Copies of this chain bind each other. A is one copy, B any other.
Amino acid sequence: MTEPRTTAPALAEDPHPELHMTSSAMLQDIVIGLSDGLTVPFALAAGLSGAVASSGLVITAGLAEIVAGSIAMGLGGYLAGRTEVEHYASELDREHREVREVPEKERAEVDELLADMGLSEATRRQAVAELTADPEQWVKFMMKYELGLEEPDPKQAPKSAITISLAYALGGLIPLSAYFLTSSPTQGLAWSAAITLVCLLVFGYFKSRMTGQPPVAGAIKMAVVGALAAAAAFGIARAVGG
């Protein structure tokens, strides 16, 4: 849940060499799942610790959240991936059709894109002729530079869904484990906060290094998000249910 999907473009398309060298699609999915899994179940459990007397209830609610979140994230991600594949296919069809049926309009669009890049009229005339000589290449150019679409890998969606779900569940079990091992929600909360904040710091550090950001600042940011979410959840749960 934590960061909205606006993180993804940066992660997914970030061509920063450090990212390209060290991270794969799977690593990115693990980061997505862990970011949310470490934060929200932690905050929910912390919130309930301020309102209920039994660790069992915190664990029940925490596990329900982990299951709900990991299914919503995994299945939602799978469907979004499928939609992306379908969207690409339908746009590809449309470009093929347009190149066939309104070639003059499409040629003008190529010219406009090249003008946008800063090419002179003479160079554009030559470039447009070359780019539109072969319909396949012409369509490929439109897909990439007019629409900004890269062909998605249809096998990626199910793989991502499973990785993200598992990473979310794993992340969520870390803060929850403290409640299994202690006898009261108060004790559970103290240990849970300690373990989770350390994990958020470590995770934020490596996540930032992976994406080429300052790692110490990234570690602190990650821990602050978790701590604030937990503190707010604690406050509201105590006010309502305490």
Residues of A within 8 A of B (CB): 1-16, 29, 32-33, 35-36, 39-40, 43-44, 47-48, 51-52, 56-57, 59-61, 63-65, 67-69, 71-73, 75-77, 79-81, 83-84, 86-87, 91, 117-120, 122-123, 126-127, 130-131, 134, 137, 140-141, 145-148, 160, 164, 168, 211-213, 218, 221, 224-226, 228-230, 232-237, 240-241
Contacts and interface: CB of A to CB of B under 8 A. Distances in A.
Contact of A2 (B35, B73, B117, B235): B73
B119 A72 contact: no
Nearest to A25: B6
Given A43-B64, A51-B60, A237-B63, A76 B35 contact: yes
Contact of A228 (B9, B32, B33, B75): B75
B130 A56 contact: no
A133 to B, nearest CB: 8
30 contacts: A2-B75, A3-B79, A3-B80, A4-B32, A4-B76, A5-B5, A5-B8, A6-B84, A7-B76, A8-B8, A15-B146, A15-B147, A40-B68, A40-B72, A43-B67, A43-B69, A47-B67, A57-B241, A59-B241, A60-B240, A65-B233, A67-B233, A72-B226, A79-B221, A79-B225, A86-B213, A117-B131, A118-B137, A123-B126, A127-B127
Contacts of A63: 236-237, 240
Q: Which 8 A-B pairs rank lowest in CB-CB distance, beginning with the nearest? A: A5-B8, A60-B241, A47-B64, A43-B68, A1-B1, A2-B76, A3-B76, A5-B5
A212 to B, nearest CB: 7
Contact of A60 (B29, B48, B67, B69): B48
Q: Oligomeric state, in number of copies?
A: 2
A15 B68 CA distance: 32
A10 B131 contact: no
A196 B87 CA distance: 27
Contacts of A1: 1, 36, 40, 69, 72-73, 168
Given A4-B29, A137-B118, A39 B72 contact: yes
Given A6-B12, A120-B130, A241-B60, A225 B67 contact: no
